[in-house]
Amino acid sequence: MAMTKRDLVVRVSKQTNLRQNDVAAVIQLTLDTITEELAGGNTIEFRNFGVFEIMRRKARVGRNPNEPKKSVKIPERAVVKFKPGKEMRKLVLKLDPEKIG
């Protein structure tokens, strides 16, 4: 089950005894700031969490799944890449692959 922004707000609110509206405003401002920085081509680095960076994906030729014989040109574009930090990577590696999904 996926955690939503609302779930995060409720959890942080309970742990900090702050009002949910205040927590929601801070989380939204944080996400907006991260988005703006990435849209400006900047890298975002959070120690022990991970790094968000903009990467350039080269132009390539793809296939239309509905018409596999037709080639489709996919233009070069910018994409966001996330590289988890050491702590996150260590915890995720402990997960049982059978229980994911």
CA distance 74 to 64: 11
Whether 65 is covered by a domain: the verdict is no
Assess contact for 23 and 12: CB atoms under 8 A. yes
Q: In this structure, is residue 101 part of a structural domain?
A: no
Identify the band that residue 68 occupies on the pLDDT scale cut at 50, 70 and 90.
confident
Where does residue 3 fall: left (phi above 0), alpha (psi -120 to 50 degrees), or beta otherwise?
A: beta
Does 29 share its domain with 51?
Answer: no
CA angle at residue 60 from 54 to 62, to 5 degrees?
A: 115
Residues 1 and 22 in one domain: yes
Q: Establish if 68 belongs to a structural domain.
A: no
**Separation CA 48–CA 20 (nearest Å):** 26
| Weakest-pLDDT range from 24-28, 66-70, 72-76, 83-87 | 66-70
Of 2-16, 36-50, 65-79, the one with minimum mean pLDDT is 65-79
Each residue's pLDDT tens digit, 2-33: 899 999 999 999 999 999 999 999 999 999 99
pLDDT on residue 13: 98
Which residues span the domain enclosing 31?
Answer: 1-42
In this prediction the pTM is: 0.80
Q: Does one domain contain both 15 and 56?
A: no
Residue 41 gets which letter from DSSP? T
64 falls in which pLDDT band (50, 70, 90)?
confident
- Look at residue 8 and tell me if it is in a domain: yes
